[in-house]
Amino acid sequence: MNRSWRQLQLVALIIAVGLPVLAQEARVGNLTGHAEAGKKLYRRYCVGCHGPTGDGNGENAPWIDPKPRDFVGATFKCRSTPTGTLPTDQDLYNAITRGFYNSNMPHWDALPEQNRVDLVAFIKTFSPRWKAEKAGDPISIPAEPPVTIQSINHGAELFQKMECWKCHGQQGRGDGPSAATLTDSKDQPIRPYDFAAATDDSRFKCGASNQDVYRIFMTGVDGTPMPSFADVIQPNDAWDLVHFLRTLQTHRKSKENEVLKSSGGKVSSPAADKSSGSGN
């Protein structure tokens, strides 16, 4: 009798521990991810950095910079949703697939799609936020206007007016006067994005297209000093800023750099002229 009771306790405990995990799902396209399957995959691929409890304190975490994401905190940089909200399953799936070039997080595009969706489902078991809140609604991104020299010049004005240069530097090299003092929400030093560093878009953390850059303005990069500008900037202005920022990628072949080159190769914003070269 006593033995049976203990066996019953064992079964009950296993169910109690396992049930919340089993319940979580994720949906990406026509795929449904299951946390139970994701748990095995997480153990295989992710636990070394993100840790068994998902708090970003895996055994390799002390030697990694930037630090692994803390899934318990559920603060995610790359989202399609407004600042402060949870990302969509698609956002998490995209992050797993794309990886982060300037971190230890590789791109996991070799994994079958189902595996990646299962991982998303399991990642969502780590934080109670996923039970208390729904993911935010993705922001709408209007169609991109044509790239013109006027758009680029206006973007340069906004770059000054909104004081982007204070962090990113006048040439977009991530060396503005505030750059050295920045920390993330975990008090870890963090460096602003260096637009001039790469010859391609691989270093962009949250996607490389113009739409992705636009999205970052509007959603912000949660957990970092990069705020959302959704309440202070109009969509057309945001697109102008995107066009200007592309010209800071001086080694990158782009429509924006072609337009700038055909217009004399120099931004004619008065503010930009005034402060050009002074942000280093």
Partner 1 sequence: MHGQFGGSVRKLGAALPGSLVYFLVLILSFVVSSSQPSQAIPAFARKYGLPCSACHIGWPILNVFGQQFRDNGYQLGNDRDSPIYQNPAYWPITFRVTPQWHLESQNKVLVDQTGAEQTVTTTGFDLSGLDIWTAGTLYKNISFSVLPSMGEGDTFHFENAWVRFDNLFKTPWMNLKFGKFELDMLLSEKRFLTLSNVGGLWYNYQFLPPGDINGFGGIGDNQLGVELSGHSKNSYARYSIALLSSVDGNPGLTSGGQAGTARTYDVFANVNEGFQVKGLGVQRVGLFGYVGQSPTFFLTQTVGGVTTPLEAQGNKSFSRVGAYGWWFIKNLDIETLYMHGQDNVFLGNAVAANDPASLPAGAAGPTWNGGFVEAHYTVNPQFILTGRYELVHMSRQANTALQATPNLGNVDSFTVGYRWYPIMFSRGGLAFHNEYAQAKTGNTSLLTGSDQTSRSVMIGFDFDY
**Binding residues for partner 1 (CB under 8 A):** 3, 6-7, 10, 13-14, 17, 21, 39-40, 43-45, 47-49, 51-53, 59-60, 63-64, 99-114, 125, 202-203
- Nearer residue to partner 1 within complex by CB, 166 or 203: 203
Q: Write the CB contacts of 269 (distance below 8 Å, at least 6 apart in sequence).
A: 153, 154, 156, 157, 160
- Nearer residue to partner 1 within complex by CB, 58 or 176: 58
CA pseudo-torsion sign 47, 53, 56, 60:
negative
- Nearer residue to partner 1 within complex by CB, 109 or 258: 109
- Nearer residue to partner 1 within complex by CB, 25 or 113: 113
Least spacing, CB of residue 123 vs partner 1, in Å:
12
Output 29-33 pairs: Cβ under 8 A, ≥24 positions apart. 31/113, 31/114, 31/117, 32/117, 33/89, 33/114, 33/116, 33/117, 33/118, 33/119, 33/120, 33/121, 33/122
Least spacing, CB of residue 271 vs partner 1, in Å:
33
Radius of gyration, alpha carbons of the chain: 22
Identity of the amino acid at 256? E
Coil, strand, or helix at residue 118? Answer: helix
Least spacing, CB of residue 140 vs partner 1, in Å:
30
Which residues in 161-182 are b (16+ Cβ under 10 Å) and which e? ebebbebbbbbbbbbbeebeeb
Pair of tokens at residue 25: 């799902």
Q: How far is C-alpha 192 from the geometric centre of its chain's CA atoms? A: 13
- Nearer residue to partner 1 within complex by CB, 82 or 99: 99
DSSP symbols for 128-180: THHHH-PBPPPPP-PPPPPP-HHHHHHHHHHHHHTTTHHHH-TTSSS--TTGG
- Nearer residue to partner 1 within complex by CB, 51 or 220: 51
Identity of the amino acid at 134? K
Least spacing, CB of residue 256 vs partner 1, in Å:
21
Least spacing, CB of residue 115 vs partner 1, in Å:
8
Least spacing, CB of residue 193 vs partner 1, in Å:
13
Least spacing, CB of residue 51 vs partner 1, in Å:
7
Pair of tokens at residue 262: 């055909």
- Nearer residue to partner 1 within complex by CB, 51 or 155: 51
